[in-house]
Amino acid sequence: MRKASPITESDLHGYVDGRLDDARRLAVGDWLKAHQEDAARVADYRLLGERWRETYADVLRESVPRELLAVVAPRSAWASGLAWGAAASILVALAAIAAWMLLEPDRPNSLAAEMIARSALAHAVYAAERQHPVETGAGTNEELLGWLSQRLHMRVKAPNLEPMGLRLIGGRLLPGERAPAAMLMYEGAEGQRVSLYWGPEFRQKHESGLRYSQVARGERVYYWLDEECGYAITSSDLAESQLLRVALLAHGELEK
């Protein structure tokens, strides 16, 4: 909660969206230079905006149906262009709502809750292991991914997280209640660990969108479920905002 700060959450969003007047924009800019945590949040908001625009670009390029125009403005206003502006605003609003749902506060169902628990436990056990956090004798990463793909009966891919300073160091096969699971482990330059959990048994008909949860031990988890698999990006080393950027990168690669 921002109690004493002269810069509000609305100011930060307005700064990202370019909706502030010159004086307020300069004030927020000066604030961000001295407050790195808020500067990182603004960077996250901008990254989210880019992801949303990529995701809903096709929707915003579509022509506006006359049926929608009839709802938002009277027929006499069509020639003036006001109706088109109103209809476009509605489409933008709908896209924004859909995008907000991508990261809405988590209310995991029982399937998601089980996957969160399993992925967090696997991360807690293996990320703390300095000598053998991943399978030994598994050959190259390509061979490991091929082997995991065979065991999970689906293609297991390793998203490239190097733009976030994380390199793939390997992975391992994990037991599941109803089907095998897999975990890929990434490591940063300072030894920070991030894991990507693959759980085919947690697939569901409709993609859940990217969601956040944190378990009692402290592991932070961004996860999503789609028609093929359940995925969880887990770390106890990265802050939530850092893990969000990693999760957005992984989600974008695996769902494209």
CB 80 within 8 A of CB 69: no
At which of 74, 102, 130 does a domain end?
A: 102
Count of C-beta atoms within a 10 Å radius of residue 169: 13
Tell me if residue 131 falls in helix, strand or coil.
Answer: coil
Does residue 253 have a pLDDT over 60? Answer: yes
Q: In which domain, by residue range, is 41 found?
A: 9-102
pLDDT on residue 92: 47
Tell me if residue 163 falls in helix, strand or coil.
Answer: helix
DSSP 103: T
Together in a domain, 77 and 128: no
Instruction: Tell me the two tokens of residue 131.
Output: 């000598």
CB 83 within 8 A of CB 73: yes
Helix or strand holding residue 183 (H, E): strand 181-188
pLDDT on residue 88: 47
At which of 102, 133, 152 does a domain end?
A: 102
Residue with the bigger pLDDT between 44 and 26: it is: 26
pLDDT on residue 53: 61
pLDDT on residue 78: 39
pTM (two decimals): 0.61
Together in a domain, 144 and 80: no
Query: Which pLDDT band holds residue 25 (cuts at 50, 70, 90)?
Result: confident
In a domain, 2, yes or no: no
> CA–CA separation, 68 vs 89, rounded Å?
11
Does residue 68 have a pLDDT over 60? Answer: no
In a domain, 4, yes or no: no
Instruction: Indicate the burial class of 131 (C-beta count within 10 angstroms; 0-12, 13-18, 19 or more).
Output: exposed
Instruction: Indicate the burial class of 140 (C-beta count within 10 angstroms; 0-12, 13-18, 19 or more).
Output: exposed
Together in a domain, 207 and 150: yes
pLDDT on residue 77: 43
CA trace torsion 236, 240, 245, 247 (10° rounding): 60
Phi, psi of 90 (to 5 degrees): -65, -45
DSSP assignment of 35-92, as one string? Answer: -HHHHHHHHHHHHHHHHHHHHTHHHHHSPPPHHHHHHHS-GGGGGGTHHHHHHHHHHH
For 164-180, write each residue's pLDDT tens digit.
999 999 999 998 888 99
Instruction: Indicate the burial class of 33 (C-beta count within 10 angstroms; 0-12, 13-18, 19 or more).
Output: exposed
Residue (of 160, 185, 167) closest to 235 by Cα position:
185
pLDDT on residue 42: 77
Together in a domain, 94 and 199: no
Together in a domain, 93 and 135: no
At which of 102, 129, 160 does a domain end?
A: 102
Number of domains in the chain: 2
